[in-house]
Structure 1
Amino acid sequence: MKLDSTTRFWLASFAVGSVMTAFAIVGMTVGLQLQKPAIEIPVSATASTWSETMCAATGRVDEEIEGLFTLDSLTGDLQCAVLNGRTTKFAGLFRTNVLQDMGADASKKPSYMILTGAASFPGQGGNTRPGDCVVYVIDSTTGRFVVYGVPWQRTLAARGAPQQGALILLDSGTARNVMLREP
């Protein structure tokens, strides 16, 4: 069967168009795979909240591991529960009591607030060093505050082993320069 010139023209046009479309699809696919974002922005979020009897805050203890800090305002017990990134179970528990460190009198009903901050402590020759965040505890009735670190052991965390200990008192201070009289 012999094709006339019009049919040959349309078949040739279709073939050329198909080849060009295939090249365009391959080019876009390769280009999208090679394209990288111009700027990578690290994101980290922390949160804190409090009520009359309990305060809570979150903070990044290690690369992808976050801790939940809770403070019982009635007893002064502060703890940090750390999730294990591999097992999604709590694998770290660190505790202290803030009453003595703040010089607070529990009978005077302290009013606490807590928040976390990022920290990067230099290596101290051993495996244990404070985690990548600190927790601040403030007594709004006296203006006193303390800051604690988490004695995080990275080799235990890498193995998924549980760990526990006392939160480390790093420093203390006061935000109020005048003593208030009680009513």
Structure 2
Amino acid sequence: MHLKFPSASSLAWAAALVAVGVAVGGRLPGAAPPKAAAATALADASFAVCTAPIDATTEGLFMLDFETGDLTGSVLNQNAGTFGVAYRYNVLKDLDFKAGKVKNPKFLLVPGLASFAGNNRLAPAVLYVTDAATGVTVAYGIGAQDPSIVPLGKAKPRAAAARP
């Protein structure tokens, strides 16, 4: 069996063609790589936290205090590296709590995506707050241009037990 190696000129031509292909291919418009987004949520005995998008390049950090029912949020200023915008809303009334009557309430806080139509100035996200004892869940919209948290709707997966 006789092996035939390519000549030096053939190798030079092949290398030149590969270089031209790389140069031309690098200049052609192509599809931009897909953007990935991730929202996170975590809870302990006293607080639940999550992140949610405020716009295409910014996310907010939201925290629910189980003791007070305060849902607070802030947005990191990308230039200063400090928290700037401050959101605050109390969720207890929306979840049918009676003030001072419930000991050690537990909640779930989960972010979701939403696309609101019209002149709505809400971020492309919602925050779902669930009373872990009853399953009652309220969806909240997040102000994209002002620090507001707005109740959108309530779900009661089973007949919510009346709170004392």
- Alignment check: 8 A CA contact 1:104 1:110 kept: no
Q: Distance in 2 between matches of 1:41 and 1:103?
A: 42
Structure 2: gaps of 5 or more residues: 1-6
Q: Distance in 2 between matches of 1:21 and 1:141?
A: 70
> Which digits, 9 at most, give the CA deviation of each residue in 1:24-68, with x for residues without a partner?
353243244146666843321111111111000111111011111
> Which digits, 9 at most, give the CA deviation of each residue in 1:114-153, with x for residues without a partner?
00100111231xxx61111010100011221111111111
The CA RMSD measured in Å over matched residues stands at: 2.8
Aligned to 1:144: 136
Change in Cα spacing, 1:41 to 1:91, as seen in structure 2 (3 Å) is: same
| Residue 34 of structure 2 corresponds to residue 41 of structure 1 | yes
Q: Report which of the two structures shows the higher radius of gyration computed on alpha carbons.
A: 1
Number of aligned pairs?
156
Where in structure 2 are the equivalents of 1:8-157 lying within 5 Å?
16=9, 20=13, 23-34=16-27, 40-105=33-98, 106-108=100-102, 109-124=104-119, 129-153=121-145
- Alignment check: 8 A CA contact 1:64 1:85 kept: no
1:85 deviates by 3.2
Q: Give the letter aligned to residue 93 of structure 1.
A: A
Q: Distance in 2 between matches of 1:56 and 1:181?
A: 25
3-state secondary structure, aligned to 2:153: strand
Q: Distance in 2 between matches of 1:135 and 1:178?
A: 20
- The TM-score normalised by the length of structure 2 is 0.79
Aligned to 1:157: none
Q: Give the letter aligned to residue 59 of structure 1.
A: A
Q: Distance in 1 between matches of 2:55 and 2:129?
A: 21
Structure having the larger proportion of residues in helix: 1
Change in Cα spacing, 1:95 to 1:21, as seen in structure 2 (3 Å) is: same
Q: Distance in 2 between matches of 1:172 and 1:32?
A: 52
- The TM-score normalised by the length of structure 1 is 0.72
3-state secondary structure, aligned to 1:62: coil
> Which digits, 9 at most, give the CA deviation of each residue in 1:159-181, with x for residues without a partner?
xxxx53x3111112212236389
Identity percentage over the alignment? Answer: 29
